[in-house]
Chains A and B, each alone.
Chain A
Amino acid sequence: MYRSPPGARGFLLSIGLLGGAMLLAFGLGYLLFRALALALPRPIDTPYPGYLILIFMAVLLIPLLVLIARRYPFITDWYYLLPAISFLLAFTFYPILLTVYFGFTDYTGLRNGKPDRSTETQVVRVEGNVLLTPGDAAANLRCTHPNCTGDPLELTSETQRATVTINQVEGNRIELSAPPPFTPKLVYHVNAYGFVGLANYREIFANAGSILIPIFLWNLAFAAGIVLLSALVGLILGLLLNNKNLRLRGFYRTLLILSWAMPTVISFQVWGALLNVNFGAVNRFLGLLGAYPVPWTSDPEWARVAVILIGVWQAFPYWMVATLGALTTIPDDVYEAAKMDGASGWRTLTGITLPLLRPAFTPLLLSSFAFNFNNFGLIYLAINPQPAVEGRPSTAQAVDILISWAYKTAFQADGGQAYGLGGAISFIIFIITVLISLVNFRVTGALREVR
C-alpha cells in the first residue's frame, strides 16, 4: 500500500498536483480550442461553442491523472473527490470569486464596460493616432474625465471592433494613446467600470444604523421565530401522532405533510393573495369569528407576523416528520420501564421523551435556522409589494431580510442593476452566515467530531 506524506506537506503536495494538473489541462484545452478555431474556421455567427474547452480539458486531464498516479500513488485518494471539487470550482467557486470582485468595483447595468450607443460619432479621417470627427468630439462623447484623458473608446468598422484609450480630445480631434489597429468608421465612448476599493462597503456601513442593523435584527427574529414556532407545532403534532392507539394516524400524517410538499413557488404566492386585507380569504374567515380585517400585507408589523406564520405553516410538517423519525429511535423498553415505575404521562414526556429527542433536534434546529436566515423565496414571493417603512429606502421595506435587500439592490434598484453594491452585500451576508454557523458548530460540536 502507499502512504501520503503526512500533515500540511502532504496536503499541499496533493493540492498542488491536482491544481497543477487541472490548470495544465485547462491551458492545453484552451490552446487546442484556439488552434481548432484557426485551423478550421467557422463563420462569426456560429463559432465553436465554448464548452468544447471543458471537453478537451476533461480528455486531457485523464491521461495526466494516470501519469501523476504512477509517480505519486497516494494521490488516488483525492481522485474520489475530483468530480465534486471540479464542479464546485467551476460552478460555485468561480461565480463567488467574480461576485466578490464585483463588490470592489462600481459595476452597474449602465456602467458595464460596453459602448454607449448614444455617443455614436463618425470618423472622417485618421491621422496617425488622431481621429478627426465632424463636430465637437468632447460633447458627442460625453466623457467622464476632463478632456477625455484615459477614457476608453470603442472603434468599429464594418468588420472589426476594438477598444482603445483616449489621450485627450480637442475640438474635433480625438487623440488616442496609440494609432488605431484598423481604420475606424464609427467610435463610441465606453462606460467603463473600475476598481473602487471599499467604497461599496463604506456606503453600506454609512447607513448601517437605518438599514443594515434593523434588517439584521429582523432577519434574526424572522429565522428564530419560524424555527422555534414550527418546531413547537411539529413536536406537538409528532407526539400526538406517535400514539400507536390513535386511529387514522396515516391519514392525518398524509394530509398534514401537504403544506411542506407543495412547491413553494405556488404556496407562497397564494398566501400573499389570501392575506389581502379587504378581499383575502383569510380575513373573510376571521370575519366570521368576529375579527375586524387584519392588515396582513399592508401594515409593516402585521406583514412581519404574516411571513412568520406562512413560514411556520410551510415548515411544521418537516418537524412533525423529524419528531416521528426521532421517536422511532427511542426503544420501547425505556417507556415500559417508566411505566413500571409508575411515572405519569407528563413525567414520561419531560423526563424521557424530550431529553432523548434533544440530541436529534439540536442540529436540525441549527441547520433550519441557517436555512431560514436566507429564506429568500418566502420574502420575495409571499408579500409583494411590501408595505414600506418610513425612513427606509425602497430596497429595504418592512419584511426585507438581508438577502432580499441584496437582491433588490443588485437587480431592481438603480435603474435595474447595481451589481457592484450587490456583490458587496452578498459578501457581508456570507460573513454573517459563516459567523452564525461557527457559533452553531461550537454548540453542536459538529466539527470536533469529524476531526
Chain B
Amino acid sequence: MRKALLIAAVAALSLGLAQGKLTVWTHYGGPEVAWLKDQAAKFQKSTGTQVEVVEVPFGDIQNKFILGAPQGQAADLIVSIPNDWVGAMVQAGVLEPMGKYATASYINGLSDVAVDALTYKGQLFALPMFAESVALIYNKKYVPTAPKTWDEFLKVAQANTTGNRFGFLYNLNDAYFSYGWFTAYGASVFGKSGNTLDTSQVKLGGEPGIKAMTFIRDLRYKYKLIPEGVDYAVADGAFKDGSLAMIMNGPWAIGDYKKAKIDFGIAPMPAPPGGGQWRPFVGVQGVAMNAYSRNKTAAANFAKLLVSPQSQISFNQAGGRVPASKAAVAELKNDPVVAGFAPIIASGFPMPNIPEMGKVWGPWGNALSQVTQKADSNIPSIVNNMVAEIQKSLSGK
C-alpha cells in the first residue's frame, strides 16, 4: 500500500514535468561507459525518460554525493558504489533503501555474498552489479600451472625472479590487497557478535595480526620477492610488459592483460606458511539511488534494467567484470575470467560496509607502510599503535 502510494505520488510529480530526466554518476571508463550510455539510450527509447551519464572520478563520488545530494545537486543514481561506502552514505542520509523497489524473485537470483555486502542494518541499499576480489594471476609462459602450496609458490616465484623478470609482485602496502594474508592467520577487521559486526572488537592486532604483518614483511626482506618502490602501477606495468610471472590483481585489470596478449590463468593464492586458507576481501558494487531524487520511479526502473541478467552479460562482455546475478554467472561459466574469479569470490569475506570501516583504512595502510619500510621494523609496537589509533577514532574522541 505504502509503496503504491509513494510510487503514485512520485509518478504524479514526474508527470507534472515536461519530461523526466535522470542523471547518473559513474566512475567507469572506456568500454564500460560506452555500455552505460548504450543502456541509457535503450531506456530512453522504451520509456521516453532521458538519461544523462556523467563521469565522476572514483575518489570524488562519495564526498560529492554526501555534500551535494541534500542540496539537490547530485545524480539520481550512482553506477556503481562499492559496498564499503554503503554505511557512511546511509548515515549521511543520501541513499534510498532499495528493498521496496526490488522483488523477492530478483533478490533470490543474486549471489548471497553480493546481497549481504550491500545490506546495511537489515535493508538493501544498492542493487548489486558485480563482485570483485583479488586473485593470483599468472603468466602461463612462465608458470604453466598454478602453484597449490606455499612451497611450490615460493619455488616458482623465486625461480622467476631473475635479472630479466620478476616472480611475484603486488602492491604490498595496500590493505585491500594484503587482507587475504590476515584472514589466513586468523585476523579480521572487526569481530562479530551474533550476526553483526562488532566495532568494539578490532581484530587486526594481537598474535594473528602480528603474524600476518611479519609474513608481509618477509615477502620483501626474507623471500626477496617484492622490492621497495613496487606500487600498483609498477606491478601492473610489469605484468603487461611480460616481465612478471605472477601478480595479485583483480578482474578490473583483465581487459588490459588481454589487450597486451598475455596468456594468463587465474587461481587462488596458496595458504602462507603456518596459516590457513587465503581468503581475500570481496568488494561488491551496486547501483545506488539518491534519497533526495525527485524521479525515484524512473531511477528505480533504470537501475533494474542495469542489473538484469541480460545487461549483466553485456556488461561483462564490455569490461570483464564478474556479475552478481547467478543466472548471468551460469551463462558465462565458460568464460575463463568469470570461472576463475567466481569460486574465489564465493570463498572471500565481504568488505565491512559499516561506516566505521572508513576509519580503518588509513591507520591500516599506514601500519603496512611502516612494517615494510625496514627489515627490522618493530612489528608488535606498530600493530599496537594501529589498533589504538583505530579504536580511538572509533570511540569518537
Give A contacts to B, CB under 8 Å. 43-45, 106, 109-110, 112, 114-118, 120, 122, 158-159, 185, 188, 190-191, 199, 203, 273, 276-280, 293, 295, 297-300, 385-395, 397, 411-417
CB within 8 Å of A: which of B143-176?
173
B359-A415 in contact (CB<8A): yes
A122 nearest CB neighbor, chain B only:
B2
- Tell me if B96 counts as interface (CB < 8 A to partner A): yes
Contacts of A109 in B (CB 8 A): 63, 66, 88, 92
Bound: A386/B363 CA distance, A? 13
A118-B123 in contact (CB<8A): yes
Contacts of B62 in A (CB 8 A): 416
If the complex has contacts A110-B91, A117-B97, are A388 and B373 also in contact, measured as CB distance less than 8 A? yes
Bound: A112/B92 CA distance, A? 7
- Tell me if B320 counts as interface (CB < 8 A to partner A): no
Bound: A390/B294 CA distance, A? 49
Residue in B356, B362, B366 with the greatest tally of chain A CB atoms within 10 Å: B366
A413 nearest CB neighbor, chain B only:
B362
If the complex has contacts A278-B230, A389-B370, A417-B63, are A118 and B378 also in contact, measured as CB distance less than 8 A? no
B388 nearest CB neighbor, chain A only:
A393
If the complex has contacts A387-B369, A413-B362, are A117 and B93 also in contact, measured as CB distance less than 8 A? yes
CB within 8 Å of A: which of B199-244?
227-231, 233-234
B389-A415 in contact (CB<8A): no
Contacts of B90 in A (CB 8 A): 116-118
Q: Mark B331-354 against chain A: 1 for CB-CB distance below 8 A, else 0.
A: 000000000000000000000000
If the complex has contacts A388-B370, A413-B359, A414-B393, are A118 and B66 also in contact, measured as CB distance less than 8 A? no
- Tell me if B9 counts as interface (CB < 8 A to partner A): yes
Contact residues of B: prevailing secondary structure: helix
Contacts of B291 in A (CB 8 A): 117
CB-defined A-B contacts under 8 Å, sample of 19: A43-B16, A110-B92, A116-B91, A117-B93, A117-B94, A117-B95, A158-B9, A159-B9, A277-B228, A279-B230, A295-B228, A297-B229, A387-B373, A390-B370, A390-B382, A411-B63, A414-B358, A414-B359, A415-B358
Q: How large is the interface on B (under 10, 10 to 19, 20 to 34, 35 or more residues)?
A: 35 or more
Contacts of B357 in A (CB 8 A): 415
Bound: A220/B367 CA distance, A? 26
B96-A393 in contact (CB<8A): no
If the complex has contacts A110-B88, A295-B228, are A390 and B120 also in contact, measured as CB distance less than 8 A? no
The minimal Cβ–Cβ distance linking A47 to chain B, given in whole angstroms, is: 9
B357 nearest CB neighbor, chain A only:
A415
A185 nearest CB neighbor, chain B only:
B2
A276 nearest CB neighbor, chain B only:
B229
Bound: A411/B60 CA distance, A? 11
A296 nearest CB neighbor, chain B only:
B229
Bound: A190/B373 CA distance, A? 44
Contacts of A43 in B (CB 8 A): 16-17
The minimal Cβ–Cβ distance linking A353 to chain B, given in whole angstroms, is: 44
A413-B355 in contact (CB<8A): no
In the complex, besides A117-B96, A295-B228, A413-B393, 11 extra interface pairs with C-beta distance below 8 angstroms are A109-B63, A112-B93, A114-B92, A118-B97, A122-B2, A159-B9, A185-B5, A280-B229, A389-B370, A412-B362, A416-B66
The minimal Cβ–Cβ distance linking A32 to chain B, given in whole angstroms, is: 23
The answer, among B120, B228, B231, B356, for a CB contact under 8 Å with A118, is B120
Bound: A278/B373 CA distance, A? 14
If the complex has contacts A388-B369, A389-B370, A390-B381, are A279 and B229 also in contact, measured as CB distance less than 8 A? yes
- Tell me if B192 counts as interface (CB < 8 A to partner A): no
Contacts of B366 in A (CB 8 A): 388, 392-394, 397
A191-B362 in contact (CB<8A): no
B385-A391 in contact (CB<8A): yes
B92-A276 in contact (CB<8A): no
- Tell me if B397 counts as interface (CB < 8 A to partner A): yes
Contact residues of A: prevailing secondary structure: loop
- Tell me if B326 counts as interface (CB < 8 A to partner A): no
Contacts of A44 in B (CB 8 A): 294
| 5 closest cross-chain pairs (CB), A and B | A415-B358, A394-B362, A114-B93, A394-B366, A158-B9
Residue in A122, A389, A390 with the greatest tally of chain B CB atoms within 10 Å: A390
Residue in A203, A280, A412 with the greatest tally of chain B CB atoms within 10 Å: A412
The answer, among A45, A115, A299, A392, for a CB contact under 8 Å with B93, is A115
Contacts of B275 in A (CB 8 A): none
Bound: A191/B171 CA distance, A? 37
Bound: A200/B70 CA distance, A? 26
Contacts of B197 in A (CB 8 A): none
B369-A385 in contact (CB<8A): yes
The minimal Cβ–Cβ distance linking A263 to chain B, given in whole angstroms, is: 19
A276-B234 in contact (CB<8A): yes
- Tell me if B121 counts as interface (CB < 8 A to partner A): yes
The minimal Cβ–Cβ distance linking A264 to chain B, given in whole angstroms, is: 19
Bound: A116/B9 CA distance, A? 22
Contacts of B97 in A (CB 8 A): 117-118, 120
Residue in B17, B121, B233 with the greatest tally of chain A CB atoms within 10 Å: B121
A298-B229 in contact (CB<8A): yes
A273 nearest CB neighbor, chain B only:
B233
Residue in A117, A273, A295, A300 with the greatest tally of chain B CB atoms within 10 Å: A117
The minimal Cβ–Cβ distance linking A189 to chain B, given in whole angstroms, is: 10
- Tell me if B365 counts as interface (CB < 8 A to partner A): yes
A411 nearest CB neighbor, chain B only:
B63
A385-B88 in contact (CB<8A): no
Contacts of B2 in A (CB 8 A): 122, 185
CB within 8 Å of A: which of B358-386?
358-359, 362-363, 365-367, 369-370, 373, 377-378, 381-382, 385
B396 nearest CB neighbor, chain A only:
A106
The minimal Cβ–Cβ distance linking B261 to chain A, given in whole angstroms, is: 23
Bound: A252/B113 CA distance, A? 63
B378 nearest CB neighbor, chain A only:
A390
- Tell me if B6 counts as interface (CB < 8 A to partner A): yes
A416-B358 in contact (CB<8A): yes
Contacts of B393 in A (CB 8 A): 413-414
Bound: A200/B320 CA distance, A? 47
Q: Mark B81-114 against chain A: 1 for CB-CB distance below 8 A, else 0.
A: 0000000101111111100000000000000000
Bound: A412/B367 CA distance, A? 17
Contacts of B228 in A (CB 8 A): 277-278, 295, 298
A393-B358 in contact (CB<8A): no
The minimal Cβ–Cβ distance linking B347 to chain A, given in whole angstroms, is: 28
Contacts of B10 in A (CB 8 A): 158
Bound: A203/B397 CA distance, A? 8
Bound: A389/B385 CA distance, A? 11
Residue in A120, A277, A293 with the greatest tally of chain B CB atoms within 10 Å: A120
Contacts of B370 in A (CB 8 A): 388-390
The minimal Cβ–Cβ distance linking B197 to chain A, given in whole angstroms, is: 14
Bound: A114/B88 CA distance, A? 12
If the complex has contacts A116-B93, A279-B229, A412-B362, are A110 and B355 also in contact, measured as CB distance less than 8 A? yes
Contacts of A389 in B (CB 8 A): 370
Q: Mark B1-43 against chain A: 1 for CB-CB distance below 8 A, else 0.
A: 0100110011000001100000000000000000000000000
Contacts of B121 in A (CB 8 A): 118
